[in-house]
Amino acid sequence: MDSIAAESRPLYNPCVLKSFTRLLFLCAVPVVFSQAPPAPARPQQEPGSQPQVKLNYVNACTPAAEEQAALKSALGQVSGNAAFAEDFEITRGRATIKDAPTSKFVRLRRDFAGQSSLMTVQYSMSTDENFTIETLVFRMRDPKEFHELSIEDRVSAAAATPISVLTTDTPAARIRIERLGKGSIVLSRCEGADQSAYESIFKQASDLTARYRGLLGLRTAFRTDIAWLGAKSETPARHKQP
């Protein structure tokens, strides 16, 4: 009798089993409701179709009124008083590029004082058998509106020496603004185009370049470096065999 009673006794206490079942249900509920909804299916590209490509065109000959205002504003921001730091860097060298004539260049970089809204200014002149090109580049300390402004002019190498280009204040022929997260703005001299509406911008850029030619000492302290550009390269003489 005792053995039969032992075999017919329940294996688990009903209260414990009920509590355990409730615990499993409560633990399973968060798992069910935390499942993320399925992601929407991406539209499938039709076989043979090409991906879309967006191209940004720069109207360098006749920029719109909004772009003209941006150019004038940028030129105005860099036309203030120039307070340079004492340090500077100047380099000169020769560059050989495949399928292009050999060129010589001089670069001068000056840093602005800490309180200036400008960070650096770099002047460069390069010359080859075809052209002599001047470039003046300003970089802003806070690139909120733009981070770089460049002004460029060029003349035929046969028409003027590098020193003549420097002393005659060659007018600007190309102005460019680089902006973070936005397209560039460019204004260039274009043959055959009516650019009378942009003469004031070209004049503003030309006056700024002429001013910085003097501020950077290109006609005084660094005149010999510019003159080096126009000097003919000398080939070392070969020793004659006895």
Exposed, middle or buried: residue 224 (CB in 10 Å: 0-12, 13-18, 19+)? exposed
Contacts of 176 (CB under 8 A, 6+ apart): 149, 150, 152, 184, 185, 186, 187
Q: Is the pLDDT of residue 32 over 80?
A: no
Task: Write phi, then psi, for 138 (nearest 5 degrees).
Answer: -110, 135
State the Cα–Cα distance between residues 116 and 29, nearest whole angstrom: 63
- pLDDT tens digits for range 109-159: 999 998 889 999 999 999 999 999 999 999 999 998 899 999 999 999 999
Q: What is the pLDDT of residue 80?
A: 75
Strand ranges of the sheet holding 131-140, from the earlier edge strand across to the other edge: 84-95, 103-112, 118-127, 131-140, 148-156, 174-178, 185-188
Residues β-bridged to residue 176: 150, 186
pLDDT digits (tens, 9 = 90+) for 44-58: 656 666 666 555 567
Q: Write the DSSP string, 65-87.
A: HHHHHHHHHHHHHTSS---EEEE
Higher-confidence residue of 143 and 42: namely 143
CB of 155 closer than 8 Å to CB of 165 = yes
pLDDT tier, 189 (very low <50, low <70, confident <90, very high otherwise): very high
pLDDT digits 0-9 by tens, 193-218: 999 999 999 999 999 999 999 999 99
Lookup: tokens for 141: 């300390």
pLDDT at residue 72 greater than cutoff 50? yes
Q: Which of 206, 167, 166 is nearest to 189 (CA)?
A: 206
Which of these, 82, 67, 62, lies nearest to 177 by C-alpha position?
Answer: 67
State if pTM tops 0.85.
no
- The amino acid at 226: I
With a CB cutoff of 8 Å and minimum separation 6, the contacts of 68 are: 187, 197, 198, 201
What are the residue ranges spanned by the domains of the chain? 2-33, 65-230
The mean pLDDT value of the chain amounts to 81
Residue type, 165: V
